[in-house]
Amino acid sequence: MCQEVGHAVQLALSRRGLLKAGAGASLAAVSLMLGGAPLAAGAASTGSARGDDGKQYDTRLILLGTAGGPAWFPGSNRRGIASALRVGESTYMVDCGDGAAGQLARALMNDSDQPQTFALLEPLRALFFTHLHSDHVVDYNNLLLQGWTAGLGRRQPLEVLGPGPRGELPPVFQVPGRPAKEPPAVFPEAPTPGTVQMTDGIFRAFATDLNDRIRDYLWPDLRGLVQVRDIALPTIPGFVTPNQTPAPHMAPFEVWSDANVRVTATLVAHAPVFPSFAFRFDSAEGSVVFSGDTAPCDNLVRLARDADVLVHEVIDAAWVDRLFPPPFDEAIDALKHHLLSAHTSIEDAGRVAERAGAKTLVLSHVIPHNLGDDRLKLAGRHYSGRVVPGHDLDTIGVGRRRAA
Ligand SMILES: [Zn+2]
Ligand SMILES: [Zn+2]
């Protein structure tokens, strides 16, 4: 989840005097910050597949995890953010939050006529990372290591595409009236690695396991089952540096294609994160757009023009208000603005979908995790299409039903 939420946690901890109470109390407060209070009756999702019968569609979206934020939500049926798009026999994955690898295996098991435990991931063709916040990538090592026994890369190497290195450290959060204190950088020799470096780091961290299984089981080298690429940005007029223009106005650009889909991307407004992408998948049956994490963003509206399905992140602005009840000082006032400036409120998600002319709006990356469907449906106030409050393992059909 986002850096600004990290600041929110710190400020809330200070505010509640919990910093002195030790790690246990701190973690409890973090959970509270992300919506970890006991669930209201009826607030939890069923966790079961709902809506369209996915198998009736050649192209179908499966929500693997619908929670936003770097935390576990044990009282909830939501796992970390991740989605899958199935087109015919191929599967494309977007983001890989907490629990995503197991959710993908579960989804492919449910979605297959003859599932085989050791071949579940054979259809997985490509994985796309919107950005490298931990809540979008934390299960990546799990997908790779456990996918090794589930057919990952067996038909052809799994292609992984994501942001390249940021190139410069983000600015230190400015609390009004206080001088910013520059913290020491983590690994200053490479403080903002991209997707290729991140993957290499995972392989290095698990070298003991890789060498063991390659030698003892005679398994193929896992590294050869994966092809990883940092997404190269086109030349963008007006772009200066990530710290000045993290989401410059730009046209969508193609990042990948195969016989089933053409994938285009754009930069979205999730400052200070850079690059932070939204993706659009166009197939013969229709189009599905994933917003990634973003504030309302013209680049996204352009990318999502007339899309069949827009999967959009959402944060409950009223929850943010409740989190910091008045009286609040200037710092919290600034922080509230910051929290809301890098994400999209429920009603604004509807406005974005309306501007784009998207036919169906699926709400995911839900913050807080225990947000009820009634509140999520408020997106329909400013949107004339279909609103789907997303829940884990929901399937949404795209295009025509298959002939009976
Ligand atoms: Zn996120
Ligand atoms: Zn994020």
pLDDT value at position 404?
66
The whole-number pLDDT of residue 192 equals: 97
Q: For residue 126, is it within any domain?
A: yes
Q: How many domains does the chain have?
A: 1
Question: In this predicted structure, what is the pLDDT of residue 132?
Answer: 98
Ligand 2 center from residue 272 Cα (angstroms):
9
pLDDT above 90 for 18: no
Q: Report the pLDDT value the prediction gives residue 401, as an integer from 0 to 100.
A: 87
Q: Which ligand places an atom closest to the C-alpha of 69?
A: 1
pLDDT > 90: percent of the chain:
70
Query: Identity (one letter) of the amino acid at 206?
Result: F
Tell me the pLDDT of the chain averaged across its residues: 86
- Residue 341 pLDDT > 70, yes or no? yes
Closest CA to 12 of 46, 35, 41, 39: 35
β-strand pairing of 226-230 with 253-257: unpaired
- Is residue 323 in some structural domain? yes
Domain span at 296:
47-180+187-399
pLDDT greater than 50 at residue 142? yes
Which pLDDT belongs to residue 322?
A: 86
Q: Which ligand is nearest to the CA of 4?
A: 2
81 C-alpha to ligand 1 centroid (Å): 7
Give the type of residue at 285. Answer: E
Lowest mean per-residue pLDDT among 16-20, 175-179, 383-387: 16-20
**132 alpha carbon – ligand 1 mean position (Å):** 9
- pLDDT value of residue 336: 75
Measured in angstroms, how far is the CA atom of residue 1 from the centroid of ligand 1? 4
CA 392 to each of CA 100, 106, 299, 380, 396: distance values in angstroms, whole numbers, following the listed order = 10, 11, 27, 21, 12
Q: Please name which ligand lies nearest the alpha carbon of 276.
A: 2
Q: How confident is the model at residue 238 (pLDDT cuts 50, 70, 90)?
A: confident
Mean pLDDT across 22-43: 32
Domain contains 370:
yes
Q: How confident is the model at residue 325 (pLDDT cuts 50, 70, 90)?
A: confident
**Rounded to whole angstroms, how far apart are CA atoms 99 and 88?**
25
99-122 pLDDT, tens digit each: 999 999 999 998 888 888 899 999
- Quick check: pTM over 0.95? no
Would you state the pLDDT for residue 232? 97
Residue 147 near residue 140, CB atoms below 8 Å: no
- The dihedral through the CA atoms of 16, 17, 19, 21 has a sign that is negative
Reply yes or no on whether the pLDDT at 202 is more than 80. yes
pLDDT for position 66: 98
Task: Give the residue carrying structure tokens 């989840």.
Answer: 1
Q: How close is the Cα of 5 to the center of ligand 1, in Å? A: 10
Rounded distance from Cα 319 to ligand 2 centre (Å): 18
Ligand 1 center to 8 CA (angstroms) = 15
Tell me, in angstroms, the distance from the centre of ligand 2 to residue 285's CA. Answer: 30
What pLDDT score was predicted for residue 22?
A: 32
Whether the Cβ atoms of residue 259 and residue 191 lie closer than 8 Å to each other: no
- For the stretch 283-286, contacts whose Cβ atoms lie closer than 8 Å and that sit 24 or more positions apart, written own/partner, are 283/59, 283/87, 283/398, 283/399, 284/58, 284/59, 284/260, 284/399, 285/57, 285/58, 285/59, 285/87, 285/398, 285/399, 285/400, 286/59, 286/398, 286/399
- The answer, yes or no, to whether residue 12 has pLDDT greater than 50, is no
Mean pLDDT of 215-239: 96
Question: 296 C-alpha to center of ligand 1: Å?
Answer: 15
pLDDT confidence of 23, banded at 50, 70, 90? very low
Give the distance (Å) from ligand 2 centre to CA of residue 308: 24
Peptide bond into 272 cis (omega under 30): yes
Q: Which ligand number lies closest to the CA of residue 163? A: 2
> What confidence score (pLDDT) does residue 30 get?
30
Who wins on pLDDT, 37 or 240? 240
Sign, CA dihedral 140-97-153-309, equals negative
Cα(273) to ligand 1 centroid in Å equals: 11
What letter represents residue 182's amino acid? E
5 located within any domain: no
Domain of 288, CATH number, reads 3.60.15.10
Q: How far apart are CA 65 and CA 363, in angstroms?
A: 11
pLDDT reported for residue 334? 65
pLDDT over 80 (residue 48): no
pLDDT category of residue 24 using cuts at 50, 70 and 90 = very low
**Could you tell me the two tokens for 359?**
């036919």
Residue 176 has a pLDDT of 67
Answer yes or no: is 25 within a domain: no
Q: Is residue 3 part of a domain?
A: no
| Cα 222 to middle of ligand 2, angstroms | 28
